[in-house]
Each structure stands twice: as C-alpha cells, then as structure tokens.
Structure 1
Amino acid sequence: MWKHISCIGFVILNFQAFRADGQMCPVADDIAPCHCLKDAVTKKLDLDCSNVLDSWQLERIFQARFPSPAFREFTMAGTEGHRVPIVYLADGVFGNLSFASVVIKYTNISHVGEKVFEKSYDTLESLTLSYSDLQVYPATNLRYFSTLSLLDLSYNKMVFLQDIYSLSLQILNVEHNEHLAFSDKLLTVVPSLLEMSLASCGIESIPPGLFSSAEVLSNVNMGGNKLTHLEGNALAFSSNAVLEIILSDNEISRADKDFISGTSASANLVLMNNRLEELSEAVWRPILQYLDDEKGSGFVTLDGNPFFCGCKLAWLVTSPGLLNYVARGAACEDGSLIHDLNPEYFLDHCY
C-alpha cells in the first residue's frame, strides 16, 4: 500500500517538477507536421512549421492546445527549389502564442496581416521574412514592438516600404526588393538604428536628408542600385557615428558639392564600379582634406571608375597627403593606377 502511494507521489512530484521547469511542448500529433523542440540547456521552446502544406493547415495547428504560449523561435523555412506553399499570414493565425524570434524564408507569402504578430509586441526581438513574394509589410505597426532589434525583409517583391517608426530597431535589411519605393521620411523615428541595407532595390535617387534623423546610424549599403547623381545633402548624417557607406555598382557619374556631411574621419565611402570620369576639386578636396586634417582612418574607394587622368586631376595627384585617403585601386581609363602617376608631370604641364 505505502509502496503504491510512494510511486504515485513520485510521479506527481516529477510532473510538478516538469511543469516548474517552465515550458511544455504540446502533444506532437496535435501540431503535426509542425514540431516543437525544447532546448536542454535553456529549457526554452522552439517551433518549426517548415512542412506545412497550406494556410488552412497552419491555422488548424494553432488551434491546438499549447500548454506554454511563450516560444523562443518560430521557423518556417523552405528551400530555393521547394518553397513553403503558404501565401498569406492572417491576423490571429498564431493564436495566443508569442515569439522572441521569427524566421520565415523561401515561402510564397505575398501579404501579412497588420496584427499577425500582435501577441509578440513585448517579446519579439528578431523578425526575418525573406526570399518570399512579400509585396508590402505593414511597417506602421513597428512602433508597438518594444524589443524588436532586427527586421529582415530582403529578397522579396516589395514595391513600397512604409515610413519606419521604432524606438528599438537596430538593423533594417530590405535589400534585393528590385522595385522598391519609399518616401523621403522613411526613417521617421529610428533613434537606435545602427545598420541598414537598401542594396539592389532599383533606387534611382537618394532624397536629400534621408538619413539625417538616424542619430546613431553607422553602416549604410545602397550598392547595386540605379543611382546616377549624388545631390547636395544626399548623404547628410546627424552624428559622427557613420563607419561605412557603400554605393558600389551603381551608375554614378557626378556628385554635387556637400553631397556628404556629418560623418567622422573614420568613415569609409565606397564607390566602386560606378561611372565617375573626374574628381572635381570643389567636391572632393573638402572630403579628403577633412580626413587629412583629422588624421582619420577613413578612406574613399573608387576602384572600377573610368577616370580621365588629365589636368583636372592634378590637384589630387600633386597632393600626396590627400591621395593617401584614396584606396589604391583607383585607376585611369587606360588602367594606370592614380597612385602611380608622376606628380612632376602634372606640375610641369598643368600649372
């Protein structure tokens, strides 16, 4: 008798201990083909729904009983050759579950409900929805996420990016949305934004002052676009936190005076593979002079531009202190490196 009671007590204690452990997965059959995993160290739960067949099945799964509604990560990821056949994430599809991280890749998702992650407003730290067919993401709800630090919407079919209002966002990646449009107020309130990529988005111009409200922005990538002209204040920043600005693989052939400002002497400006034929002294001397005066560690990279190395370049070739802040790969259209040009020749023929 006492032996049986002891066994029952042992089972109850162990069950209570399991519950006290914090997290419990639902019954496996109730959520198939999704599966729940519990981290042996952290005891946190992860949920993988990469094998779901359609939106109806996904909705049914989240109607199951989930003993613990808080999950560390939700994953729904196909492959390049076999995408997850989900086309829409509706509001309420995840029931009362919350996530700290969401990774959705290689799906057919084209639209997302405005409140689809409503239960994660206080928990979501990272949201990736990439390599899909997303056309518009409801960015107006970003203000409600109190801990979101990363938003990755890269490799989609987005046609418009709504203005961003987020106190917590640190990394914004929307690269490879090839026909992306946005307003000149894109970065409405982003006091924590450190990195952003708008690479390969078909962008033809940078609105003056686009980055001026980003107080701590350090890395900007706008490579692979269709930029032809850097207008005044196109790269105006509000602090000296900028470390790297990438504008490579565009079609830039001219730049206005004061197109860049507000950077530190540690900033790297990368303009590889553009169409610059000359470096106007009025435009470029102030940039290089600032780096020289401050003894900065920054530089300007101009490799792959078809420079005409005539007398208009004499000011740079004959100023070794300034030339030191141009990366060595910059070359004339005949292949001669600008760093290897003879300054004596320019002194004799250009002055």
Structure 2
Amino acid sequence: MMDFSWLFWSLLLVLSVARPGGVEASNQSPQDDGPRDLACPDAQDIFPCVCSLNSQNSMDMNCSEVTSEDELAAVFQANFPSTTFHRLTIFGNRQLRILKSDALGSATFEEFWITDGALELVEDNALIGSSATAVHMVFNFNNIVLFPFSDLHFFTSLKSLDLRHNFLAGFPVLVSPSLQTLYLSHNPLGGLPGSAFVNTPELLDVHLSDVGISGLVPGTFSGLRKLRNVGLGRNQLTHLPPSSVDCTPATGMIDVGYNEISSVSPDAFPGLVNGWVYIHHNHLRSLPEGTWRKLLEDGGYLDPYGNPLHCTCDIAWILRNATFLHEVDVYTTCADGHRLVDLDLAGYEHC
C-alpha cells in the first residue's frame, strides 16, 4: 500500500499557518503593508471602558460607563500592549465631573469626544500626553467652567476645538499655530477682545453665537489669511463698525442674525467677494445703497429677512436691478408684511 502520510502532514502544516495560533501563525498577510502591532488591552483589565479596532485598523476607547474619576484613572493604569489610540469617547456620562491631569496615563489620542455629560473641569495637563497627536477635541454640551487653554500652544496638530454649550466665562487667551475651527458658541464669554485671534493665524471657521458680544472692535478678524466662515448670531450687537470682519478671498459666510443691529457701516466687511451675509432678525429699517451695493455687485448674497424695513426710496436701487433683487433673500419682507419681490416698481418712480 502506498504511504500518503507525507500528504497528511503537508495539509496539516498549511492549515496551521492559515489559522491564528497555529504552528506558524503570522500577523502579516500578503496584503499587509507591514506588521500590525496594535492590540487592545484585556477587556477585564479596562472595564467598564471598551476598546475596539475601527475600520482604519486603529484603536478606539469608549469610557462612557465609568462611574468616577478614580475608576477612569484606574483603567489607564492597566497593562496596555499599545498606548496609541485614535479616539476617546465619553458620552452622556453624569458621574465624571473632573478630567484630572493624570487620568489618561500614557495613552495618546487623535480625537477626544467627551460630550453630553456633567464634566465641569479639565485640569491643566490632562490632555498634554496627546500634544503631538490630537487633531480634534470635542467637549460640547457639558458644564465646563475651566479648560486648559494655556496648553493649546503645545498641540501642534490640533485642527478643531469644540466647546459649545458649556459655562466658560471670559474669552480665553488662544495661542495655537495649527487651529482651524473654533466652536465657543453658547458660553457666557461676555465679549470678544480685539486681540482674540492674534495668535491663531490658521483659523478658517469661527463660531461665537450666543456668547454675550455687544460690540466688535474694528480689525478683530484681521490677519486671518484663510478666514472662511464667521458665526456671531444671537448676541447683543447693535452696530457693525468698519472692519467688523476683515474678509479674504475664501470668506463665504458671515452670520450676524438674531442680534439688535440697527446700523451697518459701509466698510463692515472689507474684502468680501461672493460671500453671504446673514443679517436676518435684527432692527434694520433700511438697506442703504452705500452699505450693500458692493456686496451684491461682487456676487454676494444678503439675507435681511425679519427686519422692520420701511421699504421707502432706500430700496429702490435693489428693485430696479433684477440681479440685485435675486441676490436678496426671497422671503425678505417690509415691516407691513409685503415681500420685496412683490413690490410694484412703479411706486418708486419718484425716487
């Protein structure tokens, strides 16, 4: 009888190599660019946190279920095969009130999503371990009164900071060589200093709705060479002075809706081309040609809906130009309720 034992052992070897934990199990497949050295900690060591590999084959940590600051710190004292993470998530946690300076051990993160919770204080150095890796920080919808803004200049890769809906009082000193998007809306900041953005040269988008701004210092936004969008809605602005927002070729939107604005200087938005100005729900009674003509001539869009416009001769320049009329929000009405687009031009022949 022919001996087929060689075939049996050959098949066994092939199956062993293909199966994890086999005779010659490998963590590198022919499609891999290199060895995978990321591995989550043992689940029981980090409970109630949960570690998982995401679709980019990097690690995420979810600690939404921690019951105290001490428990969170204990998790990050466990044995970690790798301390390099993509995202830390803590969502809807009502027990964690302080993110302590040593809470995250030696772990590093690219993103922080600590949201919809009861967090009140982020201590100095609590995030500093990720100064070389952090790209996005999201801490919105908490109760934060103190945040380590003084550490931001160490974060050389940080692109966005989102602290909306907290209790931050007083506009922070911001120093960041890389920050592009800033969300501070719905905090009792109380004002916007003229030097607010002197040390954030890469800012693209600034969101400061409902923060208690009653006036703008001319030139506050100057020097932001890439500025795209500015949100200043739901504040207490009454007048927009010259250089309220210094624009760039990239500036697309300025939102000052839901303020108390009754007057706008002709040079309030120097440099704005093809941009949109949302000035709806304010106290404007007129749309002077000297203020708004350049915006519409330069391909811009104006939304003055919800203002008590008197619709006297001051709007005739818009009604006589079909292009201009098309570039004003179609739902804009006069104080008497008539829409601008429905007004009879014949009634303005005397203007």
* TM-score bracket, shorter-length normalisation: 0.7 to 0.9
The answer to whether structure 1 residue 305 and structure 2 residue 307 are counterparts is yes
The one-character-per-residue Cα deviations of 1:191-216 (angstroms, maximum 9, x if unpaired) are: 33221211122221222111112110
Residue of structure 1 equivalent to 2:177: 167
Structure 1 vs Structure 2 CA RMSD? 2.5
Q: What residue number does 1:243 align with? A: 252
Aligned with 2:109: secondary structure? strand
Distance in 1, Cα, partners of 2:109 & 2:309: 52
User: Residue 196 of structure 1 aligns to a residue in which SS?
Assistant: strand
Runs of 4+ in 1 over 4 A off after TM superposition: 9-13, 15-20
Question: Contact (CA 8 Å) 1:133, 1:157: kept in 2 or not?
Answer: yes
Q: How many residues align?
A: 332
Q: Is the 8 A contact 1:159 1:181 kept in 2?
A: no
Matched, 1:153 2:163: yes
Which amino acid counterpart does residue 37 of structure 1 have in structure 2? S
Q: 1:207 to 1:14 in 2, by over 3 A?
A: farther
- Report the TM-score, using the length of structure 1 for normalisation: 0.87
1:106 partner amino acid? D
SS class of match (1:235): coil
Instruction: Provide closer, same or farther for how the CA distance between residues 249 and 274 of structure 1 changes in structure 2, counting only shifts above 3 A.
Output: same
CA–CA separation in structure 1 for the residues paired with 2:186 and 2:197: 19
* Structure 1 residue aligned with 2:268: 259
Matches within 5 A, 1:1-351: 13-14=24-25, 20-39=35-54, 41-78=55-92, 83-237=93-247, 239-264=248-273, 266-288=274-296, 290-291=297-298, 296=299, 298-348=300-350, 350=351
Report the CA distance shift for 1:158/1:13 in structure 2 as closer, same or farther (over 3 A).
Answer: farther
Give the Cα–Cα distance (whole angstroms) in 1 for the partners of residues 292 and 21 of structure 2. Answer: 78
Residue identity over aligned pairs, in percent, reads 29
* Alpha carbons of structure 1 residues 16 and 235: separation in structure 2 relative to 1, 3 Å: closer
2:6 is matched with: none
Letter aligned with residue 348 of structure 2: F
Q: Secondary structure at the match of 1:65?
A: coil
Q: 1:211 to 1:283 in 2, by over 3 A?
A: same
Q: Retained in 1: the 8 A contact 2:51–2:61? A: yes
Q: Partners of 1:162 and 1:142 in 2: how far apart?
A: 11
Could you tell which deviates more after superposition, 270-279 or 139-148? 139-148
Equivalent position of 2:3 in the other structure: none
- Structure 2 CA distance, aligned partners of 1:344 and 1:67? 79
The verdict on how the C-alpha distance between 1:180 and 1:46 changes in structure 2, with shifts beyond 3 A counting, is farther
Q: For structure 1, which runs of at least 5 residues remain unmatched after alignment? A: none
2:170 & 2:61 partners in 1: Cα distance? 31
**59-68 or 95-104, which moves further after superposition?**
59-68
Cα offsets for 1:114-163 (capped at 9, x unmatched): 21111111111111001101113222222211211111111111112323
Gaps of 5+ in 2: 1-8
Change (3 A) 1:50 1:10: closer
